[in-house]
Structure 1
Amino acid sequence: MSRYRRMKVENGMYFITAVLQNRKANYLIRYIDEFRAAYKETQLHCPFETIAICILPDHFHLIMQLPENDMNFSKRIRLLKLNFTKRLPLEYRQPTASHTKRREAGIWQRRFWEHLIRDDQDLVNHWDYIYYNPVKHGYVQAVKDWAYSSFHRDVKRDIFPEDWGGNPELIIKGEI
């Protein structure tokens, strides 16, 4: 397998999507306390600012701001995946031979998606996409009803109104 090239920028802001291998699994919300502990442990060892996050049953979206003089977002995602996986019950952690060979956690898709945020409008588009995602997937009718996102933190900070619903036409088309 060839090495994947990623755009790395010091102090960059990135939109990240990481997905479980089994798209029908709900480990991320079934084991939300373990995910939160893994997230905190990752931030302890490799700090970053959480601009926005939304955790869905089988994937999560994150906008992260890296610290000054740091461009290694890949290390943070690798650690988060590893820290979460090791907290799961043993029956979920059985890697395939391919995963073992590459020292990867078997519950995750091998790669993750990343996008360098280019400007303020790009940030707004991705922020909206993250928070509207549970509605798009049909988990809830309103953004405020999804418990597993930083939307509620941002409502308290007066960044979003509690009844915010995004622009569904733009968000559903995936034009981010």
Structure 2
Amino acid sequence: MPNYRRLYIPGGTFFFTLVTYHRQPHFSSSENVAKLRQAVAMVKKQMPFEILGAVILPDHIHFLWTLPEKDFNYSKRIGRIKVLFTHALRNQNNLPENISNSRKKHRESNVWQRRFWEHTLQQEEEIEIYLNYIHYNPVKHGLVSCPHLWPYSSFQTWVGKKAYSFDWACICHRQKVLIPNFDLIIDKVGE
């Protein structure tokens, strides 16, 4: 069995990728996005953390979180979010029935991939790169032509903070777009 090692730094900033089982598009419906947001809000209330950036795509999610100063347990938070969202789907009878024996043995549903992708940001400059990745991701996947068109992203929040212009990486006005280069982080994002 592979040996998974995670870096746990109290008060750290972390980039996460959570993927649905077999890339099922659970987040194609606004109702399921609302269920996910409710699960995140509940966990955030129980175990506080700061969400610096987020994007919800049909079959995966990216988060950028900072934990409280003496806290390092992001795994517990992510596990709880997965459980709460899965229970919300189960309550609506939206869960697929075909659960493998291995998943039954580990008491898992077939909503999420077993693990999640994590990268610890150790330099301040990394935050901008990962935020750009998060906000450009819907364009990268061909879901929209411009970041401002995707409704399930923290992009508008950052536009409000004047960290981005509304037309960042935008082609709406037939302007030439400078596409961010993610070559340095592509092996750290879990897609």
Is TM > 0.5 for Structure 1 vs Structure 2? yes
Which of 101, 104, 119 is the aligned partner of 1:100? 104
CA contact (8 A) 2:50 2:66 kept: yes
Any idea what the Cα deviations from partners look like across 1:28-75, whole Å, max 9, x if unmatched?
241111111111111111111000000000000000001111101111
Which of 162, 165, 168 is the aligned partner of 2:166? 162
* Dislocated runs of 4+, deviation >6 Å: none
Normalised by the size of structure 1, how large is the TM-score? 0.91
How many Å apart are 1:169 and its aligned residue?
Answer: 5.1
Which of 72, 90, 93 is the aligned partner of 1:90? 93
Match of 1:50, SS?
strand
Partner of 1:142: 146
Partner of 1:73: 74
Segment of structure 1 superposing worse, 25-34 or 46-55:
25-34
Any idea what the Cα deviations from partners look like across 1:101-151, whole Å, max 9, x if unmatched?
223332111111000001122111111101000000000000000000011
Aligned length: 173
Return 5+ residue gaps in structure 1 as ranges: none
1:47 equivalenced with 2:58 (yes/no): no
Segment of structure 1 superposing worse, 11-20 or 31-40:
31-40
CA contact (8 A) 1:81 1:105 kept: no
- Indicate the RMSD between aligned Cα atoms, in angstroms: 1.7
Larger radius of gyration: 2
CA contact (8 A) 1:86 1:93 kept: no
How high is the sequence identity, in percent, across the aligned residues? 37
Partner of 1:110: 114
CA contact (8 A) 1:52 1:64 kept: yes
1:21 equivalenced with 2:21 (yes/no): yes
